[in-house]
Structure formats: structure tokens, C-alpha cells
């Protein structure tokens, strides 16, 4: 079995490395020459725990290679995965499918013998039909099937999510293509992972419905947190109380600054647009997307309020920039909403993230880049925890107090206990408590 992985980003690289770990020969392709050069030098261009070791092991075993040449990789492949980006289209929020379509055309030109073309990128329902049309038009003689196989991995635990997923969804009604997919995912079948075969369009919609549901769950508990603040209850206790109900479940019930990342914001919006286009609007998801945007903006106001109503001329320390811990992904991170509002209000902002500084420097301007958590707080008026990296969970509170001009902490991830912070002399604000 030979696989070509088109697109070597968070999903393509992890999927490629994991398939090679399953014993399959994988050729990873990306049009970004620098990314491929780094990979060929043994460097991993993203931060994902455990990926470097697994990658090195499979390169050494001769099962994993990297290049910018789609043609060579595809010619040899039984299965070609499309794992390119599907960002929000500027202006209207639809998924931008230009990368997917360009990849489909390149694949079509290079295909040799029966090939299964698999969309792993998150794509709106019906995209598989379009990919099929493009390939047919480019290569009327080609022998192929197009399958949808959406990816559910989470950055930060991507390898485990890929190797031990809750389920694998495979969208195709064609038996020949199903056989190839079955063979590819055989190691997961052996560990009794549920493998759901369904139609291509259903598989495409499952991915969006899953993300929209999770985004809704997060927004639900965030809105309950707002209510808790008004009525004087603790959202963590409410989460626990509802999460123990098996119908609800305890995951994704952590109140915070609003969801970010490379998937939920763009995928909720794209789903809303698809639904509007076909005259079946998703009012709930529309509200969730709006609420979440407003929430992220409001987090800066919360910091300003904690500082007595003004941050003009004050220095604010920000701990954590990535949208969640254990990743360097900055896409749609709440920090990107918070920092500009603070700056506009006259604050000097000092920032630190354990892994996302390189990515953050591409997106954030006019801040003071710091070496570590304590350096960030040096002479600051207040500290805000935006991302709950482990190293922020056990700060030396006496040291924090000695560094800050005023012992103000805004904990947007609820990692400290209000009573303990009050006892330690902090002016402490958190979420929904
Ligand atoms: N990041 C996640 O956690 C996650 C999880 C599940 C699904 N997804 C979906 O997977 C897809 C990929 O996401 P990502 O985060 O890996 O994106 P990414 O931006 O990290 O990577 C995409 C890569 O594709 C490359 N590329 C674009 N066009 C190409 C072409 N024609 N040939 C070769 N390479 C090309 C880009 O250079 C880039 O390196 C998206 O549709 C996303 O919604 C992402």
C-alpha cells in the first residue's frame, strides 16, 4: 500500500506520519518548499507533542518521505489524501475550496492506475462531487474514486487521536474504494475502533455537524458562566453537576474566553453559509458563532475592569498566546482579539507563550516579547492567563506578587481557586465563579 499525502500541515503531517507508523509507505507533499526542506533536515515545522520522534523513526525505516513534487508521489500511490487548508473565504465566510480544487487538478494529471482520492480536509457537503468532476474533466481516462474521510484529531493530542480515534468516518458507496480504505485503517479495525461507512455527502456533513455541536457546547457553558457571575454561583460546580449526566457528558464544559483555533470558528461559519444557501438556516449555530465572537472581544473589557476601569499607561502581562495548550497554532486565538483592544486602550502589553512565539510574531505587533512567565510579569500592573499551559498552573504566587505593581490576576481559564487567591492577597478575577 502506498499513500500520497497532499498538504503537510497539522493534519497532513500527523496523518502521514501515523499512516507510516501503521506500516504504509507515505509520500508527503507540500508546495511550501521551506516546510519540505525543514522536514528533509529532520525538523518538524509545527509543535505537536511526540511528532518528532515518530517522524524520525519512520523516515529511518524508509517508509516516510517529503517532497514538493505531487506528480512523483501520486503516480506511485494507491491512495491520495487531500489535506490542504480550507480557510474562511474572505468576505462571505464560505469555505475557500481553491486549494482543494487545485490539488484535485494536480492529482488528476499525475494519476496512474486505479487510485482512491480521499478528502481529509474539512469540506462542505457536495465538495466530493466537485472533486470528482474536476478529475474527470482533467483526465477523462482516469480510473479512480473519490472518498470523504474527515479528520477529527485535536492539536496537542493529535497522534493519540489519530492512532486511537473515537471513530473513523468513511464516505463512499463504492466497494472497491471501501476495500482500499479498510486496508489503510486495518490497524484501527484490529483495536476495535468503530469504522463508520456512509455516503460521501453524509461523511462531509458529519464533520461539520460534530464541530458545530462542540462549539455549541462550549458556548453554552460560557453563557451559563455569564449567568453564574450575575447570580453568584460557580460554573465549575454547574459543569460538574450537569456533566455527570451521561446524556450530557463532562467534556467541553470548561468555561473560558471563547473558542478559537483553526477549526471551530471557520467551520461553524461555513456550515451556517451552506445552510443559508439551501434555505435551511441553522439559527442555533448562527447564534453560537456570533456569541463567541462577541465573547472574545469582551475578555479585554474584563481585564480593563479588573484594572479599575482603565489600562491607559499601564502594563499588562499576557501568559499564553496559542488558542490552547500543547500547540503553536495561533489561528483565531482569543489572544488576537484581546491584545489589540488593550493596546487601543493605552496599555503596554508584555507576552509569553511556551511554544507559539514564532507563530505569534507573524500576527501580533508592538508587544514586548518575554522569555518566560515571570519575566512577563516584571513591573506589570496586572497579569492575565489566556492559555492554560501546564507551566502556568503552579506559579510561585509570592514571586508573582513581588513582580507585579498591583496583585491583579485575570484568569480566563479558571486554573486557580478564587478562595486561595484571595487568601494570598490577589485581586483575582476568573470566569463564572
Ligand atoms: N488543524 C486541525 O486541528 C484540523 C483538525 C481536523 C481537520 N482539519 C482540516 O484539515 C485541513 C487542513 O488543516 P491544517 O490545519 O492541516 O492546515 P495547514 O494550513 O496547517 O496545512 C495545509 C498545508 O497544505 C499545503 N498546500 C496547500 N495547497 C497545496 C497543494 N496544492 N499541494 C500541496 N500542498 C498544498 C499548504 O502549504 C499547507 O502546508 C483543513 O480543511 C482543516 O479544516 C484540521
Distance 122 CA to ligand 1 centre (A): 9
Distance 371 CA to ligand 1 centre (A): 30
- pLDDT score of 373: 98
Where does the pLDDT of residue 209 fall: very low under 50, low under 70, confident under 90, or very high at 90 and above? Answer: very high
Where does the pLDDT of residue 176 fall: very low under 50, low under 70, confident under 90, or very high at 90 and above? Answer: very high
The predicted-structure confidence for 357-394, as pLDDT tens digits, reads as follows: 999 999 999 999 999 999 999 999 999 999 999 999 99
Where does the pLDDT of residue 431 fall: very low under 50, low under 70, confident under 90, or very high at 90 and above? Answer: very high
The predicted-structure confidence for 230-258, as pLDDT tens digits, reads as follows: 999 999 999 999 999 999 999 999 999 99
The predicted-structure confidence for 279-307, as pLDDT tens digits, reads as follows: 999 999 999 999 999 999 999 999 999 99
Per the rule left: phi > 0, alpha: psi between -120 and 50, beta: everything else, 379 is left
Where does the pLDDT of residue 178 fall: very low under 50, low under 70, confident under 90, or very high at 90 and above? Answer: very high
Q: Is the whole model's pTM more than 0.95, yes or no?
A: yes
Where does the pLDDT of residue 190 fall: very low under 50, low under 70, confident under 90, or very high at 90 and above? Answer: very high
- Give the mean pLDDT of the chain: 98
Closest protein CA for atom 27 of ligand 1? 84
- pLDDT score of 364: 98
- pLDDT score of 396: 98
Where does the pLDDT of residue 226 fall: very low under 50, low under 70, confident under 90, or very high at 90 and above? Answer: very high
CB of 39 within 6 A of ligand 1: the answer is no
Distance 8 CA to ligand 1 centre (A): 7
Residues 6+ apart with CB under 8 A from 162: 14, 15, 18, 151, 153
CB of 7 within 6 A of ligand 1: the answer is yes
CB of 85 within 6 A of ligand 1: the answer is yes
Closest protein CA for atom 17 of ligand 1? 85
CB of 16 within 6 A of ligand 1: the answer is no
Active-site residue, 263 included: yes
Amino acid at each position: 500500500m502506498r499513500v500520497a499525502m497532499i498538504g503537510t500541515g497539522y493534519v497532513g503531517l500527523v496523518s502521514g506520519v501515523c499512516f507510516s507508523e501503521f506500516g504504509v509507505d507515505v509520500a508527503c507533499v507540500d508546495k511550501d518548499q521551506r516546510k519540505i526542506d525543514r522536514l528533509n533536515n529532520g525538523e518538524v515545522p509545527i509543535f505537536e507533542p511526540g511528532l518528532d520522534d515518530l517522524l524520525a523513526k519512520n523516515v529511518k525505516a524508509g517508509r516516510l518521505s517529503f517532497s514538493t513534487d505531487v506528480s512523483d508521489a501520486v503516480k506511485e500511490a494507491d491512495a491520495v489524501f487531500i489535506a490542504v487548508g480550507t480557510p474562511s473565504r474572505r468576505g462571505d465566510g464560505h469555505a475557500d475550496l481553491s486549494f482543494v480544487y487545485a490539488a484535485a487538478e494536480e492529482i488528476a494529471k499525475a494519476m496512474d492506475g486505479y487510485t482512491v482520492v480521499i478528502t481529509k480536509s474539512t469540506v462542505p457537503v457536495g465538495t466530493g462531487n466537485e472533486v470528482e468532476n474536476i478529475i474527470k474533466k482533467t483526465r477523462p481516462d482516469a480510473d479512480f474514486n473519490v472518498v470523504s474521510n474527515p479528520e477529527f484529531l485535536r492539536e496537542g493530542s493529535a497522534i493519540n487521536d489519530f492512532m486511537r480515534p473515537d471513530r473513523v468516518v468513511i464516505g463512499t458507496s463504492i466497494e472497491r474504494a471501501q476495500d482500499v480504505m479498510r486496508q489503510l485503517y486495518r490497524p484501527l479495525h484490529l483495536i476495535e475502533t468503530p469504522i463508520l461507512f456512509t455516503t460521501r455527502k453524509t461523511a462531509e456533513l458529519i464533520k461539520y455537524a460534530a464541530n458545530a455541536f462542540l462549539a455549541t457546547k462550549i458556548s453554552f457553558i460560557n453563557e451559563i458562566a455569564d449567568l453564574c457571575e450575575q447570580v453568584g454561583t460557580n460554573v465549575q460546580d454547574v459543569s460538574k453537576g450537569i456533566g455527570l449526566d451521561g446524556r450530557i457528558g463532562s467534556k467541553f464544559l470548561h468555561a473560558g474566553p471563547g473558542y478559537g483555533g483553526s477549526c471551530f470558528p471557520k467551520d461553524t461559519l461555513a456550515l451556517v453559509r451552506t445552510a443559508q444557501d439551501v434555505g435551511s438556516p441553522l439559527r442555533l449555530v448562527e447564534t453560537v458563532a456570533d456569541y463567541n465572537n462577541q465573547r472574545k472581544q469582551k475578555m479585554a473589557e474584563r481585564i480593563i475592569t479588573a484594572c479599575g476601569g482603565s489600562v491607559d499607561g499601564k502594563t499588562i502581562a499576557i501568559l499564553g498566546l496559542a488558542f490552547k495548550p500543547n500547540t503553536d497554532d495561533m489561528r483565531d486565538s482569543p489572544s488576537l482579539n484581546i491584545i489589540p483592544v488593550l493596546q487601543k486602550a493605552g496599555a503596554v502589553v508584555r507576552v509569553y507563550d511556551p511554544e507559539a512565539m514564532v507563530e505569534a510574531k507573524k500576527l501580533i505587533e508592538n508587544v514586548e516579547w518575554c522569555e518566560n512567565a515571570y519575566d512577563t510579569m516584571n513591573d506589570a500592573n496586572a497579569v492575565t492567563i489566556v492559555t492554560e499551559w501546564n507551566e502556568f498552573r503552579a506559579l510561585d504566587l509570592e514571586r508573582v506578587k513581588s513582580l507585579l505593581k498591583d496583585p491583579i490576576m485575570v484568569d480566563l481559564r479558571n486554573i486557580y481557586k478564587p478562595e486561595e487567591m484571595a487568601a494570598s492577597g490577589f485581586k483575582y478575577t476568573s470566569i463564572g465563579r
